[in-house]
Amino acid sequence: MSNPLTRRQFLGNSGKTMAGMAAGLSVLGPRSMLSSARAADANDRLGIALIGCGGMGRHKLGNFLDTKQVDVLALCDVDTKQMDEAEKMIAEKLKNEPAGQKTPQRFKDFRKVLDMQEVKVVIIATPDHWHAAPMLLACQAEKDVYVEKPCCHNVREGKAMVAAAAKYKRVVQVGTHQRSYEHIQAARDFVRNGELGEISATNTYTYGNESPDGLGSDPDSDPPASVDYNLWLGPAPERKFNKRRFHSSWRWYFDYGCGMVGDWNVHLQDIVMWTLDTPYPTSVCSMGGHYILADDRDTPDTMVTIYKFPPSKLAPKGHVHTYTLRKASGKPWHKGGIGMDFHGTNGFLHMTRGGWEVEPDLEDWNRPGSEPRIDPVKEMGEYHKKDVEGHNVHVENFLECVQSREKPIASIEQHYTSVVACHLANVSLRVGRQIFWNHEKELCFMDEKMTIEDKEANKFLGREYRKGFELPEV
């Protein structure tokens, strides 16, 4: 195992810059003896730990417990009340199971979890700004990782995470669990088999109505006694505590999250890009802002993004993609306010978490009785049931890959391409103009020919880290 001083020193020393860390990563040779031994003994129960015990963390931990393949050895959160809730969830899940699960150890400092050699897998379900450092150090500690989406707070962190997974030969699954929905895979196959014809346009959308107040306007206050607020802030700028910027609603502030495009559209964007094998956009233009909601969020409540993607097998001349965000009009996600659309020469395919349907074009819309170009499809079901199944199958896939050392269905490498597209939507919004993305150089440019570097946009590809919380070099 790598020198544990790297982990112990992380929060106390100045650390390394993002550029230095990324430059220091390299791919090792054959997998370690530890990994080979683990893969050979597929009957062993895995010792796991949860870092980030909030609502999504507890939900994900429940998915792992449902597999009957794991023992929870540690819980970690900067809020002791969240660990209390996780312990209750574990007890409830296992109340009818044979005795065997010990009370997990509890920590506020995730580095202590990574020092536990018996922990083989860590689940990272912290706010976005705390995804990268635990994942990087977990890989260094030869632990496999299930990290919630979006994998990173910014593009540079994501690049480093991909490099760390490769260097240490770790299995890293990202929580874009829609990939594991059976009906989404069927719809994807339909498109990839050419049934929809050539694709010229795709679309994703996330709606909801929180008007007029949004998050409200509560004053700053002292943090709860159960919370280590300095540690919760971590790499983010120092600010007074406010519950609007804390549990759950932190995602609407750029200090900690990525807004709806990174929180929700990353699920949808991922399916579109996965289906069409389009690893990157070439240009991105976002328009919108904080127009309506009476709160202090700095992510938009209204936004439209237009992407241009390069040619691919199903879109030989390239295609355009649009993303529409509304937080002040429309149905919420659980009532149908999210979706993915594919527009092809043979018709239109609409996909949600509940099902998918195809509306065919006619051979000649102007000729009465004209035949449809393809048969219509409608496969809609119960959203909640499909969502539960998708979460469970996604975790099962990850655990299978931990044993086999194969790539999981939502590997960090594949997720990185989708999350970059989402981050670029925010970059374009924040600079107030169209940006052009050079995938090879991983830089933004001012012009389509990629001759003038966009220095303002490129600043948003990373972040300034608070002293003592810079990303570690691994």
What would the pLDDT profile of 216-241 be if each residue is shown by its tens digit? 999 999 999 999 999 999 999 999 99
CATH of 5-178+390-410, one of 3.40.50.460, 3.90.650.10, 3.40.50.720, 3.30.1490.150: 3.40.50.720
Question: What percent of the chain is predicted at pLDDT more than 70?
Answer: 91
325: CB partners within 8 A, 6+ apart: 205, 206, 259, 260, 261, 265, 288, 300, 301, 302, 303, 304
Model pLDDT, residue 382: 80
Is residue 30 scored above 60 in pLDDT?
A: no
Q: Does position 49 have pLDDT exceeding 70, yes or no?
A: yes
Mean pLDDT, to the nearest integer, of 104-120?
98
Confidence (pLDDT) at 8: 55
- On the question of pLDDT at 79 being above 70, the answer is yes
Residue 405 has pLDDT above 60, yes or no: yes
Confidence of residue 383 (pLDDT cuts 50, 70, 90): confident
Statement: residue 351 has pLDDT above 50: yes
Give the residue among 395, 411, 406, 428 at the shortest CA–CA distance from 158.
411
Share of the chain above pLDDT 90, in %: 86
Provide the pLDDT confidence category of residue 12 given band limits of 50, 70 and 90.
low
Locate CATH 3.30.360.10 in the chain. Answer: 180-382+419-459
- Please list, in sequence order, all residues whose beta carbon lies within 8 angstroms of the beta carbon of residue 12, skipping any fewer than 6 positions away: 468
* CATH 3.40.50.720 domain span(s) along the chain: 5-178+390-410
- Domain 180-382+419-459: give its CATH architecture: 2-Layer Sandwich (3.30)
**Residue 299 pLDDT > 50:** yes
Distance of CA 399 to the CA centre of its chain: 18
pLDDT at 297: 98
DSSP 371-436: PBSS--EEEE--HHHHHHHHHHHHHHHHHHHHHH-PPPTTBHHHHHHHHHHHHHHHHHHHHTS-EE
Question: Across residues 331-341, what is the average pLDDT?
Answer: 93
The predicted pLDDT at position 10 comes to 63
Residue 16 scores a pLDDT above 50: no
CA distances from 37 to 40, 41, 165, 239, 362 (A): 5, 7, 19, 47, 58
pLDDT at residue 316 in the model: 95
Which is more confident, 412 or 95? 412
Residue 9: pLDDT band (50, 70, 90) is low
The whole-number pLDDT of residue 439 equals 96
Looking at residue 3, its pLDDT comes to 39
More reliable by pLDDT, 12 or 414: 414
Q: Is the pLDDT of residue 369 over 70?
A: yes
249-272 pLDDT, tens digit per residue, is: 999 999 999 999 999 999 999 999
Taking residues 309-320, what's their average pLDDT?
96
33: pLDDT strictly greater than 50: no
Which residues have C-beta within 8 Å of that of residue 27, sequence separation ≥ 6? 166, 167
pLDDT of residue 98: 79
